[in-house]
Structure formats: C-alpha cells, structure tokens
C-alpha cells in the first residue's frame, strides 16, 4: 500500500513539474528603445522596395527558428540587393521572438518610410536592413 501511494505521489509531482516546465510563457517586452533611419531614400516603384519587403519578412519569420535567435540575410534580387539582420533575447521562446520581431518591423517601417536603411531596437529584439552590406559587421 505504501509503495502504491509513493508511485501515485511521484507521478503527480512529475506531471506537475512537466506541466510547468513545458508550458512556461515569456512575454516579450516590445518597448521601442530606438529607431534610426538612413537619410537616403529610394523612389516609389524602385525595386529596392521589393528587396526590403523580402528581407524584413524573412527576418521576422526565420529568426525564431535559428539557434541563438540571430539571423542575417540578403534579398535574392540582384538588381537591388538589401541586407538584413535580426536577433532576439535568448530567454524568449520562438513564438515570442517572432512577436517581438513583428513589433520591431512595424516600428522600423512606419518610422523610416522609403529609406535605404533602418534599424529598430526593442527591449527584447532588434532588426535592421540596409542597401549596404552589413553581413560582415
């Protein structure tokens, strides 16, 4: 009888521990600390705009799946390359990293319309893009 009770109690404790460790939520802090825009602009209809859209969308969707939540990319369009970089606080889970990067993208693109480079730094993540190669920095 004592052995059965021990097994039941041990099972309940293990299930409770598993539940707490597997369903831990972290809420990303999306407070914008800084947004910077390059002074240079590109014209409406310039192919660079397509490259920027590709780069920032890829940063937002791919970074949460990269080890260490750090990702750099380049647009695949040779007539107007755009370069990008994003990272998240490693204490976030992947979903929250994506949420934070969505907020970073929104802050950056709404503040830096048609700029050839921009960055936004939030408490838990950052994102930037540029017409200049930033991949080797």
User: pLDDT tens, 63-119?
Assistant: 999 999 999 999 999 999 999 999 999 999 999 999 999 999 999 999 999 999 999
For residue 18, is it within any domain? Answer: no
Q: What is the pLDDT of residue 120?
A: 98
The 3-state DSSP class for residue 26 equals: coil
Q: Which domain holds residue 60?
A: 26-130
The CATH number for 42's domain is 3.30.430.20
For residue 16, is it within any domain? Answer: no
For residue 85, is it within any domain? Answer: yes
For residue 117, is it within any domain? Answer: yes
Query: What residue ranges in 26-94 does DSSP mark as E strands?
Result: 32-37, 70-74, 83-88
pTM, two decimal places: 0.80
Q: Give the total number of structural domains in the chain.
A: 1
For residue 64, is it within any domain? Answer: yes
Q: Report how far residue 61's alpha carbon sits from residue 93's, in angstroms, rounded to the nearest whole number.
A: 14
């Amino acid at each position: 009888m004592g052995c059965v009770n021990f097994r039941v109690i041990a099972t309940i404790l293990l299930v409770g521990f598993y539940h707490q460790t597997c369903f831990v939520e972290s809420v990303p802090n999306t407070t914008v600390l800084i947004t910077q825009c390059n002074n240079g602009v590109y014209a409406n209809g310039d192919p660079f705009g397509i490259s920027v859209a590709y780069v920032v969308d890829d940063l937002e969707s791919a970074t949460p799946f990269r080890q260490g939540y750090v990702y750099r990319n380049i647009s695949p369009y040779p007539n107007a390359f755009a370069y990008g970089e994003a990272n998240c606080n490693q204490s976030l889970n992947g979903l929250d990293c994506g949420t934070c990067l969505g907020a970073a993208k929104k802050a950056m693109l709404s503040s830096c319309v048609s700029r050839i480079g921009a960055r936004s730094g939030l408490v838990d993540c950052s994102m930037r893009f540029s017409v200049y190669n930033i991949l080797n920095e």
